[in-house]
Amino acid sequence: MHLQICLVICFALFPVHSRDIRESEESVLSENLISQINSAQSTWKAAPSKFMTWSTASIKRLMGVRPEHLMEIKQLKPLIHEIPNDLPENFDGREIWSNCPSLKEIRDQGSCGSCWALAAVEAMTDRRCIASNGTQNAHISAEDLLTCTSVGDCEGGSPVGAWQYYKRQGLVTGGNYNTKQGCLPYTLPSCEHHINGSRPSCDGEGPAPPCSPKCIDGYPIPYEQDKYYGESVYSIGEKQEQIKTEIMKNGPVHAMFGVYADFLAYKSGVYQHLVGPYFAGHTVKILGWGVTNSTPYWIVANSWNEDWGDNGFFKIIRGRDECGIESGIVAGAPKLK
Ligand SMILES: *[C@@H]1O[C@H](CO)[C@@H](O)[C@H](O)[C@H]1NC(C)=O
Ligand SMILES: *[C@@H]1O[C@H](CO)[C@@H](O)[C@H](O)[C@H]1NC(C)=O
């Protein structure tokens, strides 16, 4: 009797479509979806991507923002900018801060829902370089944030928590996978879900690696002394002039948005959602903006390696909070050494 009641309640609480997306082993990304997108003659083009051979469960795993994010953003004190009269029509951080190499870098989560950590350390790294006019180039460690804090793991995490941890406890340096750069380089391998790639396959998706609060052999500075700190954490109003002013003054920002199936097939142009089911919340770094064929866009760095999208980057339509990209922005200032 009790079991029967429970079953009714449980099924009522879990809508059928979310069960399907979570548990299906087939990918939703098909040739059919790609031709549907391309025949729509929208502002962007789709192409077969590595995700075609991934199971839906594996793709979903890449998106790791905990649902509390929007609540946490609302609790932050927003930084309100006075809007300059001369905001440029086009602004590409990669060109503006050409003395800061991290602006051009694309990182790779590997098979882990660590987007919340990667987007955060990417923006922190850029901002240290920008604030010091290229004289301080600490490559902040995604590994340290992912494994040595309680603000998230490979199942997702808190962008606001990441910035607050950076301010309070600090983060050490660390390069990408398979580099000996910095104190704690990323230990999760980039992986290849398409069959004949050069990288190892993404089988055996596991939990986040354990925390190792000790720099790799040969790194000359002890872990505690390699910490870099943030000075402040704030949100940015969702008006695009506020976001532009913040990027122009202080560097790239950490943004959240909702991923639908069509986004996985993005290849070029200005993304706007056309077709396909919703997956989950994902976080990225916005580093500039522009206008093409009278379509306004943001320039965004993803963390799915350079073999996804436009060499790892994408553009998304600007000014209408597409998929929520303008309404969950967090950033902060660095404490320079
Ligand atoms: C920033 O650095 C560049 C060289 O990389 C230099 O030419 C420029 O004067 C510096 N700007 C300031 C404000 O110090
Ligand atoms: C992988 O390589 C094999 C042998 O070279 C080839 O037959 C197959 O079509 C390739 N698969 C893909 C997905 O490229």
List pLDDT tens digits, range 261-278: 999 999 999 999 999 989
Q: State how far the alpha carbon of 295 is from the alpha carbons of 237, 317, 319, in Å.
A: 22, 7, 10
Q: Are strands 313-317 and 156-157 parallel, antiparallel or unpaired?
A: unpaired
Ligand 1 within 6 A of 135 CB?
no
Q: Can you give the pLDDT at residue 19?
A: 34
Q: Can you give the pLDDT at residue 257?
A: 95
Give φ, ψ of 287 to 5 degrees: -125, 10
Sorting pLDDT into bands at 50, 70 and 90, what band is 26?
Answer: low
Residue 219 neighbours by CB under 8 Å, 6+ apart: 182, 183, 226
Q: Can you give the pLDDT at residue 12?
A: 27
> Is 60 exceeded by the pLDDT of residue 188?
yes
How many beta carbons lie within 10 A of that of residue 284, not counting itself? 27
Ligand 1 within 6 A of 133 CB?
yes
Q: Can you give the pLDDT at residue 199?
A: 60
Q: Can you give the pLDDT at residue 56?
A: 79
Q: Can you give the pLDDT at residue 69?
A: 85
Mean per-residue pLDDT, 140-156: 94
Cα–chain center distance at 266: 16
pLDDT digits (tens, 9 = 90+) for 112-126: 889 999 999 999 999
Residue 300 neighbours by CB under 8 Å, 6+ apart: 255, 284, 285, 286, 287, 313, 314, 315, 316, 325
Of 110-114, 185-189, 229-233, the range with the highest mean pLDDT is 229-233
- Which residue, judged by its Cα, is nearest atom 5 of ligand 2? 196
Q: Can you give the pLDDT at residue 54?
A: 78
**Hey, what amino acid is at 50?**
K
Token pair for 91: 């602004």
Ligand nearest to the CA of 192: 2
How many angstroms does the Cα of residue 133 sit away from the middle of ligand 1? 6
Give φ, ψ of 54 to 5 degrees: -85, 145
Cα–chain center distance at 229: 20
> Is 90 exceeded by the pLDDT of residue 90?
yes
Q: Are 166 and 157 spatial neighbours (Cβ–Cβ below 8 Å)?
A: no
Ligand 1 within 6 A of 24 CB?
no
What is the percent of the chain where pLDDT is above 90? 72
Ligand 1 within 6 A of 35 CB?
no
Which of 133, 135, 136, 249 gets mutated to test ligand 1 (max ligand atoms within 8 A of its CB)? 133
Mean per-residue pLDDT, 144-171: 95
Q: Can you give the pLDDT at residue 2?
A: 38
Ligand 1 within 6 A of 200 CB?
no
Q: What is the mean pLDDT of the chain?
A: 88
> Is 70 exceeded by the pLDDT of residue 7?
no
Q: Can you give the pLDDT at residue 181?
A: 96
Could you tell me the end-to-end alpha-carbon distance of the chain, in angstroms, rounded to an integer? 65
Length of the chain: 337
CA pair distance 264, 260, nearest whole angstrom = 8
Based on its alpha-carbon atoms, the radius of gyration of the chain, rounded to whole angstroms, reads 20
Sorting pLDDT into bands at 50, 70 and 90, what band is 96?
Answer: very high
Q: Can you give the pLDDT at residue 192?
A: 57
- Which residue, judged by its Cα, is nearest atom 4 of ligand 2? 196
Residue 240: name the closest of 315, 201, 298 by CA: 298
CA pair distance 220, 175, nearest whole angstrom = 15
- Which residue, judged by its Cα, is nearest atom 8 of ligand 2? 196
Q: Are 300 and 257 spatial neighbours (Cβ–Cβ below 8 Å)?
A: no
Sorting pLDDT into bands at 50, 70 and 90, what band is 15?
Answer: very low
Q: Can you give the pLDDT at residue 57?
A: 78
Q: What is the pTM of this model?
A: 0.87
- Which residue, judged by its Cα, is nearest atom 3 of ligand 2? 196
Which of 196, 198, 201, 307 gets mutated to test ligand 2 (max ligand atoms within 8 A of its CB)? 196
pLDDT digits (tens, 9 = 90+) for 279-315: 889 999 999 999 999 999 999 999 999 989 999 999 9
- Which residue, judged by its Cα, is nearest atom 14 of ligand 2? 196
How many beta carbons lie within 10 A of that of residue 291, not counting itself? 12
Token pair for 75: 């609790």
> Is 60 exceeded by the pLDDT of residue 87?
yes
Instruction: Give the active site residues.
Output: 115, 282, 302
Token pair for 52: 């075609």
Residue 196 CA: nearest ligand 2 atom is 1
* Domain range summary for the chain, segments of one domain joined by +: 2-335
- Which residue, judged by its Cα, is nearest atom 2 of ligand 2? 196
Ligand nearest to the CA of 129: 1
Q: Which conformational region is residue 242 in: left (phi greater than 0), alpha (psi within -120 to 50 degrees), or beta? A: alpha
Residue 53 CA: nearest ligand 2 atom is 13
> Is 70 exceeded by the pLDDT of residue 16?
no
Q: 2-335 domain in CATH 3.90.70.10?
A: yes
